[in-house]
Structure 1
Amino acid sequence: MAVWLTSGLTAPVHAQGAGGQIEGTVRDEQTAVLPGATVTLRNEQTGVTRVAVTDGNGQYRFPALAPGIYGLKIELQGFATAEAKEMTITIGLTLIRDLSMKLQSVSETITVAGTPPVVDTTKAEIAGVITHQQIETLPINSRQYLSLALLMPGTTVDGTRSFFATVNVGGSMTFNGTGNMVDGTINSWAEDGEPRQDVPEDAVEEFKISNSLYKAEFGLATGGMVQVVTKSGTNAIHGDAFEYFRDKALNEKGVFETVKPDYRRHQFGGSAGGPIMPDRMHFYGAFERTQINEFYTVRTGLAQFYSSVEGTFKRPTDRNLYFGRTDWQISNSQNAFARYLQEDELTLCVNCGGTGASTTSFDQDVPRKSLTLGHTWIRGNHQLNDLRFQYAHAGFFGYPSGTQNFTELGAFPTGRTARQTRQYTFPSMTYGSSYDDASLESRWEFRDTYSINLARHELKFGGEYNDMPYIVDDAINYLVGTYTFSQDQFFNPNDPTSITNLKGAQTFTATSAPVTTLHPSKYGVVFMQDDWKARPNLTLNLGLRWERLYGPVNEDLNPNDFPVPLPYVDVSKRGDLNNFGPRAGFAWDVQRDGRTVVRGGYGLYFGHIRTLAAIEEFRNFHRLSISISNPAYPDPYQGRDPASFIVSSSTPNVSIAANDMVQPLSHQVGGGVSRNLGHDFAIHVDAVYNRTYHDYKTRNINAADPVTGLRPLPQFGRIDQIQSTSDLRYRSAYMKFEKRYSHRYQYMLSYTYTNSRDNAPMARVRDAFDPSIEFGPSNGERRHAVVASGSFLLPYDFTLGALWTARTPLPWTATAGRDLNRDTFNTDLVPGTTRNSGSRSLNLAAVNAWRAQNGLAPIAESQIDSSRIDILDARLSKRFTLGGSLKLELLAQAFNLLNAKNLQAQFGSGRITNALSANFASIVSARPNRQGELAVRVIW
C-alpha cells in the first residue's frame, strides 16, 4: 500500500550556481542514520535518472540539477521503500529532503509529497526567482520575459537605454551596472555592458534576480545579477505555435496624437521539443518573429516655429529570434548540453519622437549569435566539475535614418560619408543626423568550477577566461557637424532661406575624419567559495574573488603612434591588478523550524568598463575634434575647406585615459528577515546599501583659467581625461509578499524605497574647476515603487493574470541653455540650481530669475510635468482540449488597461530641460495609452 505524508522535514534551499541540488539524510524510525541505502532520483519530465548510495552518515546528494520536477525513491533491504515526489527545483537552489524509513512488515511504500519552502534559511543573498508559471500566466508586453524582473523589489529600467532588453538591479543606476548570464555564461556586450542577446519567451524556463550579496562565483557587476536558464526537451513531444496580433482598432489614441495613427503588429512563431533517445537525450527549439508597423509623434509645443517637422511618422521594426538546444545524459555521472541562440533586429529611427525630428536619430541593425557548450561530471557523492564554453559574435550598425547601411568595416566610400546631414539643436527641437557607428565584437569564454562537499563545508573553486576581439568604425559628427542655438526660432528644412536666416549660434562641433579602431579586451577570474554549516541553524557564505579586465584602460597603447607625445600619459603605470573581492554573509534560522530567517552580509564587487570608455585615446591626431564657440554661421569654416581650417586652428583637442584608471567597484552591505506565514506564503523585508566608486567620468584637465584665460598646456586645447572618479551612494529598503502557485492561484506584492545619489557616472564633468556640482539624485532614482501581480486559474479553463505598477517621478536637471563657462558644451546648470533637483528640490525662483534675465515669462510649479508611472496590464486566456494532448488557447491582453496618462522622460530624453525654452519642464513624449492584443496558440 502507499502511505502519503506531508513532509515536516523539508529544510529550505541554498544557492548552487545555475544548477540546483537535492540532498538529505535517511534515518530509521528511531532517528538512527541508514548508510548503504540506494537512492534513485528521476526527473519526472525528461525521465533522466541518477543513482547514489547513502554514506556512513546516511547522507545522499544530487548536485547540478536542471530546474524541473523530481522524484526520489530510497531502497534498503529490510525496510519499506520510501519515496518523495513533486519536488520542484528552481534556478540556483538546493532542496534538503530528509526521509525516514520503516521496517518492512508488508509490501508498502512510504511516499512524501510537498513543495519547496518559501523561506530560505541557508543563504545571505537577497534574491528571487521568476518562475515558468509566472511567465506563462502574467501579461508580458512584446513577449519580453525580462520585463517580469520588475516584479521584484529593487528593480527598474530607468537607468537603461531603449536599445536592448535590460533591467537595473540592486544598486545599478547605470545601463551597464547589472550582470547578465544565460545558461552559466556571460550574456553582455563587451562594448557597453548591456545584455547582448534576447531569448524567445518560449525558450525561457525561469530566471533569477539577485539584488545584492551574491556569491564569489559571479561578478562583472557593481549592482545586481540576472541569471537565465533555458528550456530543454522532455520524454514527451511537446510544443506550440502562436500568433500575437495588434492593430490600431485595439488601441486608444496616444496622449499627443490628434488622430489615431495606423498601427499593426504581428508576433508569431513556435517551439518544439522531445526525445532523441528517451531518458537520455532530448532536443528543444524555438523561433519567434516580430513585425511592427508603428508610428511616433514629433511634438515641440511650438508649432509657430517647427510645424514643418512636427507630426506622426512611420517606424517599422523587424526582429527574428532563433533558439536550439540538445541535452545528453551521458551516464549516471556525466551530462552535457549544447545551445545555439541567434537574434537579428532592424529598428528604424531609434529614439525619434518628442522634440527629436524624424531625421534626428538613427537606424539600427544588430545581428547577434552565440553557441554555448556545457559538461558536468559528478565524481562520487562529494565532488563535481562543471565546464562551460561560449563563442559569441555580435554586430552593431547605427547610421542616419533612411539611408543605406554599410557593413564593411574600415571602408568609407563617398556614399557612406555623404549620408550625414548637419544637425541643428534648438532649446525645444533637434533636427538632422550625423550618427555613423559600426562595430563587431566576439567573445570566447572558458569557465570551469570544481565543487567538493566535506561534511559541513561545501567548497567551490573555479575560474574563467574571456577573449573579446573588437573593431569599430566611427564617423560620428563627421565634417557636417552640429550647430547649437540659444533661442527657438522659425525653422523649415525645406526652405533654404529659413536655414540661412537662423540666429544665435552658440557652438559648432564636428570631427575631422572617420576612423577604424581595433581594441580587443580580455577578462580573467579566479574564485573560491565556502558555504559552511557552522551550526545546524546557522550557515556562513564565505568567498573570495579576483578578477582582471585587460584592455579598456588602454594598457596596450603605443605612445609612438602619435606625431606629438600625449600629455600626462605613462602606459607603464596602467593596469588594475589588485581586484580582490571578499564576500561574507550569514543566514540564521532563528527558531530552527525553517519559518523565520535573519540574513546579512558584505561583499566587494568589481564591475564592467565599457570598451568605448577611453577608446578616443587611440584616435588622437588620426581624427581631430572641432569645437567652436560663437561660430560663424552658416559656414563655420569661414570659406576654407575643413582640412585647411583644422591646420590653421590654434591647438588640437586630445583625449587620454588616466594612468590610474581602474574597474569600478562597489561595497555592498545588506540584511533582512523572511517569515513563512503559511504553506506557500511568506514576507521578506531587506535593506541594501551600495557604495560604488571608480566608474569613469570625462574631465577637461586643460581648461582655461576663468580669470586669465590661460591653459596649463597652451599647445593643446581640451585635454579630456577619462578618470575613475564617479561616486554612487545607493540606499534602499525592499518588502515583498509572496504567494507561490498552489490551489489555482499565485500573487506577489513588492515595495521599494530608494534614496540614490551620485555624481553622474559616465558623463562629462560640467565644470572642470568644480566637479562637486555634479552630485545629486541618480538619473534612475524613483523614491517609491509598488508592483502587484497575480494569476488565477478560473473555472472552465480560463486564466486571469494582472500586473499593476506605480512609481514616483524621476529627477531631472534644469540647464541654462547657454555655454556659461565657455567650454563649448551647452550643458551648464541654471545659476542657483543643482543637478537633478527637478521633481525633488528645484529652486524655481532661480529658474525664473534666469528666464526673466533672458526675456522669458516665469514658470509655475503647476506647469512642471510629472514622470510618475501608473499602469495596469491584464491577460485573460481560455484553453480548449481538441483531443489527446492537443489544445487551443485563445488569449486577450490589455496594456495600460485603465488608459492612464503616463508621460515618459527616461534616461535624459522626453522632457524639455533647457530653461530658455518656452515649454521648459514639459514632457513631450508619453508611454502608450491602452493597447489591446489578441492571440491564438496551438499547444501539444
Structure 2
Amino acid sequence: FPDNLLMMTGGGRNAPGAFVFGGGATTNTPTSIVPPNGQNLHYNQRRNYSWSDDLRITRGSHSLSMGAWFMRVRQTAFSSAQNNAGTASYSGLLEFLQDQPVQFLAAVNPQALTFTSLEAAVYFQDEIKLKPNLTVRLGLRDEMTNGWNEVNNRASNYLFDANGILQTNPRIGRSPFVKNNAKALLQPRVGVAWDPTGNATWSVRAAFGIHNDLQDNLAHRLNANQPFNARLLITGRPMLSIIPLAGSTAPPPTCSADSPLREPACAIYTVGGLDPNMHTPTVQQWTLEIERAITSDLAIQVGYVGHQSYHLSTSMDLNTIKPVICDNAAGCLSGGVRPARFRVTVPQGSEYVPVGARPNPNLGTTNTWVYMGTASYHAANISLTKRSRNGLSYKTNYTWGKIMDISSAILGPSADNDTATLRNPYNPKLSRGIGSYSLKHQFNANFSYQLPFGNGRGIGGGATGLVDKVISGWQWNGIFNAQSGFPMTPVIGINQTGNGDTRIPDVPILDPNFHGKVILGVDGFKKTGKYFDPNAFLLPPTGTFGNVSRGRFTGPGFYNLDMSLFKRIPLKERLNLQFRAEAFNILNHANFNNPTAGNVVFDTSDPTKSAGSAGAITETAPLHGERQIQFALRLEF
C-alpha cells in the first residue's frame, strides 16, 4: 500500500486498516496488537475475588440462617483497539477508486481502561415451625456496592445541560455516576407452607421476595468514549485528504471551526454511556401454589406466579429531536431531519417531530443505557404428576402467561428482531407492549412406560431363557411440546419519524378501513406467500408515530413430538447393556419462524409501496429441526 493510503501514522505499509467493498470483497490487515482472528486478547479481562461464610443454628421451633458475602471485581476494557487501524466502507470498487466511502470508522489512540467494584451482602433468615402443619419463613438480605470506578479516574460519561440536551464533552472522573444509589438494597423475603388437613394430602405454599441485580459488567458501555477511546465516524465524505490520522493525539471533541477535521470531512461521534443517576434493577416476585394428592401416586398442582420489575436497563438514543404537540390552527411542518421533499403539514393537536437538527448536532446517534425500564409477568399453571406405578409414570403441565415490558432487548435485537433502542426516548410508554419472549400458551407432557413383557409381567409372564431376554426389559418414552407463537411487530423499515435515529424502524398505522384478516396464518402463507396481509397497514405521515404496538400480533405456533425405545440387556449381576433408539420430531412437522425480513411492510427505497417480501416467512424455527433418528449403546456398571 502506498504511504498516502495509510489510515493512521505508525501503522506500517502492511497494516493500512480494513477496506470493505460492497459485493463481498474485503481486505483486512490488522495492527500488531490484534491477533489474526480479529479478537483482542486484552478485551474484557475480568478477575473476581470472592469470600462468603454461612451459619445455621437450630433452636426449638426456630431454624436460624445467617451469612455474609464479599466480592471484588476488576474488569479491563480495551475493545476500541480492535479497529485502531480504521475501517473504510465502500458500496463498490468504483466508489473506492473515486474516493467516495460510505463511512470511515477509526479509534484514535485507544487506551485500556480498568474498572473495579466492591460488592457485599449480609442476610438473616428464621424458619419457624409454628405448628406441625404450618411453617413460616422470614428473611432479610442487604446488598451493597461502592459503584463502578475506573482506577485512574478515566471514567468518561455524557451528562445533560440545564435544558436536557446532551453535553458535547463528557464528564471525566473516577465514577460514571453522580451518585451511588446502591449503598443499601434491602430485600425482604417471606414464605409460608401449610398442610390444611395435616395428613399430607393437601399443601398450600406462598412466598414473596424482592431481588436486585448488582451492575458489575459495565465496562463495555464506557470503553468507546472520548477522550480516551473515541470512535471517529465520517460518513459520505472523501477521506484521502485527512489520512493518515495521528494516532498519538486525542480526537477533536466536536465539529467546531477549530477542529482538525474541518468540513467537508467533519467527524460526528457516536457516543455511548450510562444513566449518571443509575438505580439498581429490582424485581418483586410472588407465588401461590396449591397441591392435592388425588391418589397415592397421582397429584395435581395449581399455581400462580407474578413478577414486577423496575429500574431495568434500557437502551435509548438521547440525541433525538423531541416530539411536540402542534398548537397552530394552520398546522405544523413535520419531518425532523428527513429531506424537505418528505416533509408534511400535520393538523393542530397532532404529536409530531418538528423540522430541525438533533439537539446536539456535534454528536451523532447515542447508545445510552438508562434504568427506567419496567416489566411484568403473570402466569397461571396447572400440572398433573403420576409417580411410577405398574411401570408407568407421566407428567403434564399447562401454563397461561403474559409478559409486558418496554423493551425485551438491550445489547441487540431479540425475538422478532425487537429493536434494542426505544423508539421515542421522551415517551418510553410508547414502546410498552407484549414482551418479545411472551408465550400465551404452553403445554408439555412426558411419559415413561416399562412395557409389560417378560417373565413375571402381564404379557409372556412365563417366558424363560432366550425368549425372556428378547421380550423383557423394554421401555417406551415420549415428550410432547406445544406452544403459541412469539409476538411480532410489523415495521416500516425506515426512520419515518425523522427524529434522527436511523437504527430504529418505526411502526405503521393499522388501517381502520381494513376489514379482512390481518394474520393469515401458516395456511395462508402456504397459499399466498404472506403470513400477514400488508394491505392492513398504512404509512404514517412523515414526522409522526404509528399506532401498531409492540407485540400486537402473534407468529406461528410450535409443536413437537420426540419418542424413544430402550432395551435393557443384563450381562452380569452389576453389568447391563442398554440399546437406545431415539427419534426427534418423529412426525417431521415443520415449525416456522416469525417473518424476519418479512416484518418490514413498506419498500425502504419507496415507502409508498409495499415491500415484496412483506409478510413472508423465510425460515423454519431452529427449536425443532427435521426428523432425526439415532441409535446408541450404553454400558451400565
- State TM-score, norm by structure 2: 0.66
SS at match of 1:773: helix
SS at match of 2:539: helix
Q: CA deviation at 1:516?
A: 4.0
RMSD of aligned alpha carbons: 4.3
> Structure 1: where are the runs of 5+ without partners?
1-411, 486-494, 854-863
Instruction: Select the residue among 818, 835, 839 that pairs with 2:494.
Output: 818
Q: CA deviation at 1:665?
A: 0.4
Verify: 1:459 aligned to 2:73, yes or no: no
In structure 1, what is the equivalent of residue 428 of structure 2? Answer: 771
Instruction: Select the residue among 739, 745, 749 that pairs with 2:396.
Output: 749
**Distance between the aligned counterparts of 1:617 and 1:637, measured in 2?**
25
Structure 2 residue identity aligned to 1:765: L
SS at match of 1:929: coil
In structure 1, what is the equivalent of residue 406 of structure 2? Answer: 759
Q: Give matches, 1:522-561, under 5 Å.
A: 522-549=118-145, 551=147, 553-554=148-149, 558=153
**Distance between the aligned counterparts of 1:423 and 1:792, measured in 2?**
60
| CA deviation vs aligned residue, 1:95-135 (integer Å, no higher than 9, x gap) | xxxxxxxxxxxxxxxxxxxxxxxxxxxxxxxxxxxxxxxxx
Instruction: Select the residue among 449, 452, 455 that pairs with 1:792.
Output: 449
In structure 2, what is the equivalent of residue 448 of structure 1? Answer: 53
SS at match of 1:558: coil
In structure 2, what is the equivalent of residue 921 of structure 1? Answer: 615
Q: CA deviation at 1:512?
A: 2.7
| CA deviation vs aligned residue, 1:326-382 (integer Å, no higher than 9, x gap) | xxxxxxxxxxxxxxxxxxxxxxxxxxxxxxxxxxxxxxxxxxxxxxxxxxxxxxxxx
Structure 1 residue identity aligned to 2:73: M
Structure 1 residue identity aligned to 2:279: V
SS at match of 2:502: coil
Q: Give matches, 1:375-386, under 5 Å.
A: none
SS at match of 2:222: helix
**Distance between the aligned counterparts of 1:736 and 1:453, measured in 2?**
35
Are residues 712 and 496 of structure 1, via their aligned partners in 2, closer, same or farther at CA, if it must alter by over 3 Å? closer
Native 8 Å contact 1:832 1:843 kept in 2: no
Instruction: Select the residue among 366, 369, 385 that pairs with 1:722.
Output: 369
Q: CA deviation at 1:900?
A: 0.6
Are residues 560 and 550 of structure 1, via their aligned partners in 2, closer, same or farther at CA, if it must alter by over 3 Å? closer
| CA deviation vs aligned residue, 1:371-409 (integer Å, no higher than 9, x gap) | xxxxxxxxxxxxxxxxxxxxxxxxxxxxxxxxxxxxxxx
Native 8 Å contact 1:511 1:623 kept in 2: no
Verify: 1:937 aligned to 2:634, yes or no: yes
Q: Give matches, 1:900-911, under 5 Å.
A: 900-905=589-594
Structure 1 residue identity aligned to 2:107: S
In structure 1, what is the equivalent of residue 170 of structure 2? Answer: 566
In structure 2, what is the equivalent of residue 82 of structure 1? Answer: none
Native 8 Å contact 1:469 1:519 kept in 2: yes
Are residues 784 and 914 of structure 1, via their aligned partners in 2, closer, same or farther at CA, if it must alter by over 3 Å? same
Q: Which has the higher contact order (CA 8 A, sep 6+)?
A: 1
Are residues 423 and 929 of structure 1, via their aligned partners in 2, closer, same or farther at CA, if it must alter by over 3 Å? farther
Are residues 712 and 826 of structure 1, via their aligned partners in 2, closer, same or farther at CA, if it must alter by over 3 Å? closer
In structure 2, what is the equivalent of residue 872 of structure 1? Answer: 561
Q: Give matches, 1:74-223, under 5 Å.
A: none
In structure 2, what is the equivalent of residue 480 of structure 1? Answer: 87
Are residues 870 and 682 of structure 1, via their aligned partners in 2, closer, same or farther at CA, if it must alter by over 3 Å? same
**Distance between the aligned counterparts of 2:399 and 2:12, measured in 1?**
52
**Distance between the aligned counterparts of 2:22 and 2:434, measured in 1?**
30
Native 8 Å contact 1:890 1:937 kept in 2: yes
**Distance between the aligned counterparts of 2:13 and 2:121, measured in 1?**
45
| CA deviation vs aligned residue, 1:578-610 (integer Å, no higher than 9, x gap) | 211101121221111111122223211112536
Are residues 914 and 845 of structure 1, via their aligned partners in 2, closer, same or farther at CA, if it must alter by over 3 Å? closer
**Distance between the aligned counterparts of 1:465 and 1:688, measured in 2?**
31
**Distance between the aligned counterparts of 1:727 and 1:473, measured in 2?**
31
SS at match of 1:772: helix
Are residues 808 and 895 of structure 1, via their aligned partners in 2, closer, same or farther at CA, if it must alter by over 3 Å? same
**Distance between the aligned counterparts of 2:13 and 2:576, measured in 1?**
57
Q: CA deviation at 1:626?
A: 5.0
**Distance between the aligned counterparts of 1:715 and 1:911, measured in 2?**
33
**Distance between the aligned counterparts of 1:469 and 1:417, measured in 2?**
33
**Distance between the aligned counterparts of 1:911 and 1:717, measured in 2?**
27
- Sequence identity of aligned pairs in percent? 21
**Distance between the aligned counterparts of 1:678 and 1:414, measured in 2?**
80
Verify: 1:830 aligned to 2:507, yes or no: yes
In structure 2, what is the equivalent of residue 886 of structure 1? Answer: 575
> Structure 2: where are the runs of 5+ without partners?
1-10, 29-36, 159-167, 253-259, 323-335, 337-353, 411-419, 454-471, 512-517, 522-530, 543-552, 604-610
Verify: 1:738 aligned to 2:355, yes or no: no
Native 8 Å contact 1:537 1:590 kept in 2: yes
| CA deviation vs aligned residue, 1:172-217 (integer Å, no higher than 9, x gap) | xxxxxxxxxxxxxxxxxxxxxxxxxxxxxxxxxxxxxxxxxxxxxx
**Distance between the aligned counterparts of 2:239 and 2:113, measured in 1?**
27
- State TM-score, norm by structure 1: 0.46
**Distance between the aligned counterparts of 1:843 and 1:432, measured in 2?**
41
| CA deviation vs aligned residue, 1:487-533 (integer Å, no higher than 9, x gap) | xxxxxxxx9579999x9x9x858453566443344432211111111
Q: CA deviation at 1:769?
A: 3.1
SS at match of 2:538: helix
**Distance between the aligned counterparts of 1:541 and 1:448, measured in 2?**
21
In structure 2, what is the equivalent of residue 624 of structure 1? Answer: 230
Q: CA deviation at 1:432?
A: 11
Are residues 770 and 482 of structure 1, via their aligned partners in 2, closer, same or farther at CA, if it must alter by over 3 Å? farther
Structure that is richer in strand per residue? 1
Q: CA deviation at 1:668?
A: 1.2
Are residues 924 and 561 of structure 1, via their aligned partners in 2, closer, same or farther at CA, if it must alter by over 3 Å? closer
More divergent stretch after superposition (767-776 vs 455-464)? 767-776
**Distance between the aligned counterparts of 2:281 and 2:180, measured in 1?**
15
| CA deviation vs aligned residue, 1:614-666 (integer Å, no higher than 9, x gap) | 632674333334566xx53xx77476438489752255343332222122101
Are residues 833 and 708 of structure 1, via their aligned partners in 2, closer, same or farther at CA, if it must alter by over 3 Å? same
**Distance between the aligned counterparts of 1:848 and 1:749, measured in 2?**
40
Q: CA deviation at 1:745?
A: 2.9
Native 8 Å contact 1:694 1:726 kept in 2: yes
SS at match of 2:429: helix
SS at match of 2:578: strand
Native 8 Å contact 1:865 1:923 kept in 2: no
Are residues 562 and 848 of structure 1, via their aligned partners in 2, closer, same or farther at CA, if it must alter by over 3 Å? closer
**Distance between the aligned counterparts of 1:449 and 1:558, measured in 2?**
36
Structure 1 residue identity aligned to 2:227: F
Are residues 672 and 500 of structure 1, via their aligned partners in 2, closer, same or farther at CA, if it must alter by over 3 Å? farther
**Distance between the aligned counterparts of 2:536 and 2:139, measured in 1?**
51
Native 8 Å contact 1:474 1:515 kept in 2: no
Q: Give matches, 1:346-357, under 5 Å.
A: none
Are residues 619 and 650 of structure 1, via their aligned partners in 2, closer, same or farther at CA, if it must alter by over 3 Å? closer
Are residues 827 and 718 of structure 1, via their aligned partners in 2, closer, same or farther at CA, if it must alter by over 3 Å? closer
Q: CA deviation at 1:850?
A: 3.4
Native 8 Å contact 1:603 1:668 kept in 2: yes
**Distance between the aligned counterparts of 1:562 and 1:726, measured in 2?**
20
In structure 2, what is the equivalent of residue 518 of structure 1? Answer: 114
SS at match of 2:299: strand
**Distance between the aligned counterparts of 2:191 and 2:520, measured in 1?**
35
Structure 2 residue identity aligned to 1:579: L
Verify: 1:809 aligned to 2:404, yes or no: no
- Higher alpha-carbon Rg: 2
Are residues 600 and 614 of structure 1, via their aligned partners in 2, closer, same or farther at CA, if it must alter by over 3 Å? same
